[in-house]
Amino acid sequence: MLELSADRILSWIPAVLIALTFHEYAHGWMALRLGDHTARLAGRLTLNPIRHLDPIGTLLLFVVGFGWAKPVPVNPLNFRGDMKQGMMVVSLAGPGANLVLAFAGAVILGVVMGIHGMAGLESPLGSVLQAVVLVNLILAFFNLLPIPPLDGSKILAGLLPGRQTWLYSLEQYGIIILLVLVFTGAIGKLWQLVIMPAHAFLFDKVAVGIARFLLF
């Protein structure tokens, strides 16, 4: 479990709001591009974070470092073209948006460090940008797990042949499965093997690289 210090909470609040909001907005935006207006009609095609927060998923992001937002409603029957492939594209949009935000956060952090040096990391803006990078990586890779109702399950269903009704039938147990994986520590492997190496790359290669370029 992660330490809930006051500084961490203050820096993570804007980062979590940004990450969750753009994740769900990307789902709704992509669905709309494919012809489905369900998210728009439900008032979920918005950058208002309150519309996207899931109480349990948001709390877990702060407490254990993994979490989720309230899923945007999507009706694949409204898609133009193949429904299965459309659903896969819509599902990819959320994690994709988080990866873009993580990269953008690293770029801006590099600029801050280039202007203020390493002291920029300790500034309020630097702390928030560090949180933006990490939280977006967490949300992206966590949601790629092939466990319903996470995006990874719909991406997997789009890659496998057939209708994959067995996979969707697990959705009613999805949150229970996720909570078991989180609190038993099994899901910590994702942190060690994927999230931290990705975070190290964005900080060392992107942020620090840009800072050095600006300083010299």
The Cβ of residue 83 has, within 10 Å, a number of other Cβ atoms equal to 16
CB 184 within 8 A of CB 177: no
Task: Please list, in sequence order, all residues whose beta carbon lies within 8 angstroms of the beta carbon of residue 31, skipping any fewer than 6 positions away.
Answer: 38, 39, 72, 74, 79, 90
Residue with token string 């942020």: 207
Distance CA 141, CA 135 (A): 10
Residues designated as active site: 24
